[in-house]
Amino acid sequence: MATKMQNRERLLRKLAALSPATRSAIKQAIAQGADELVAAQKNLAPVKTGKLRDSIKQTWGDKPSGPSGMLTAGGAVAGDPDLTVWITAGDKDAFYARWVEFGTAPHTNGGKFAGSENPGATRHPFFYSPYRALKRRIKSRITRATTKAAKAVAAGGGGTT
């Protein structure tokens, strides 16, 4: 779910000024949140062949490209690849991820089966539901790690344990 970031350049300058220990603590908190989110999404994904479940993964750095049906969430700090993670579902084998998440409406088929009625498919939310449920917890974890690391640096500790 893409969102518009205000004061992005100011944030990137502040992140560049952070100590390596602080950046490491933030990255560790982001990684823990990403792992938790991926596990929850895989747990909720409907399984027939396992291709959809296996297509759910996290990618660090720039936004990955994929088929038009690919679902994406994440991008903690777009523009800073060390602190940016993307969670995706769907690939060339599981191109139907969006159809499973949101369902399909009943419609009249065209092409090879022109004129036949397709009853549609019910939705099976597995991707954005856990994202919305865990978003606050993940954000709080990152904030706590940032605050703790910044206090340790300010106290002269130089980093976290």
59, β-bridge pairs:
86
CB 109 within 8 A of CB 117: yes
Mean pLDDT of the chain, nearest integer: 85
* Selection from 1-15, 29-43, 143-157 with the highest mean pLDDT: 29-43
Q: How far is CA 134 from the centre of its chain?
A: 11
Q: For residue 5, what is the DSSP state?
A: P
Q: For residue 108, what is the DSSP state?
A: E
Q: Show me where the domains of the chain are located.
A: 20-95+125-152
CB 97 within 8 A of CB 73: no
What percent of the chain stands above pLDDT 70? 85
* Torsional sign, CA 11, 153, 143, 20: positive
Q: How far is CA 9 from the centre of its chain?
A: 22
CB 120 within 8 A of CB 113: no
CA torsion 70-75-79-83 (nearest 10°) is: -130
Predicted confidence at residue 158, as pLDDT, reads 54
Name the helix (H) or strand (E) containing 74.
strand 71-74
135, β-bridge pairs:
none
Backbone φ and ψ for 68, nearest 5 degrees, come out as: -65, -20
pLDDT above 60 for 161: no
Amino acid at 140: S
**pLDDT confidence tier of residue 160, bands split at 50, 70 and 90:** very low
Task: Look up residue 155 and give its two tokens.
Answer: 């106290």
Predicted confidence at residue 154, as pLDDT, reads 72
pLDDT above 60 for 115: yes
pLDDT above 70 for 5: no
Give the pLDDT confidence of 49-99 residue by residue, as tens digits: 999 999 999 988 888 887 777 788 766 555 677 888 889 999 989 999 999
CB 138 within 8 A of CB 85: no
pLDDT above 60 for 45: yes
pTM, entire model: 0.79
pLDDT above 90 for 103: yes
